[in-house]
Amino acid sequence: MDERTRKRLRSSGWTVGTTEEFLGLSKAEARLIEIRLVLAQGLRTRRERLGLTQVAIARRLGSSQSRVAKMETGDPTVSIDLLVRALLALGVLPRELGRLIGSAAA
């Protein structure tokens, strides 16, 4: 959000802050969420690039389409372990995983 918009909101009585502040997250918790979201987006991007459906990915993982949909949205019920396993099943190399994780906001 640009500074002009921030000032306008504050002058109208709104409180402006970060998601981290609003939810009362520690830095570590906020980073973990960012990593989860980056991995989820990476999974969706990779699946689409390969021209695969969520059903096809589910079959590879022995899971369901609805679970893959949750994975791709970063649902908190999906473990990071499952996101990583899905990415590896799609041929993502460990080095690429490192880049994905490294691209999460610091």
Q: Residues 61, 68: contact at Cβ < 8 Å?
A: yes
**19, pLDDT greater than 80:** no
Q: What is the pTM of this model?
A: 0.80
d(CA 103, CA 106): 8
For the chain, give every domain's residue range: 25-102
**Banded pLDDT at 105 (limits 50, 70, 90):** low
Query: What is the phi/psi pair of residue 104, to 5°?
Result: -65, 145
Fold that domain 25-102 belongs to in CATH: 434 Repressor (Amino-terminal Domain) (1.10.260)
Residue 78: which residues within 8 A CB-CB, separation 6 or more?
A: 36, 40, 67, 70, 71
Q: What digits encode the pLDDT tens for the residues 53-103?
A: 999 999 999 999 999 999 999 999 999 999 999 999 999 999 999 999 999
Name the residue type at position 55: V
**9, pLDDT greater than 60:** yes
d(CA 42, CA 87): 8
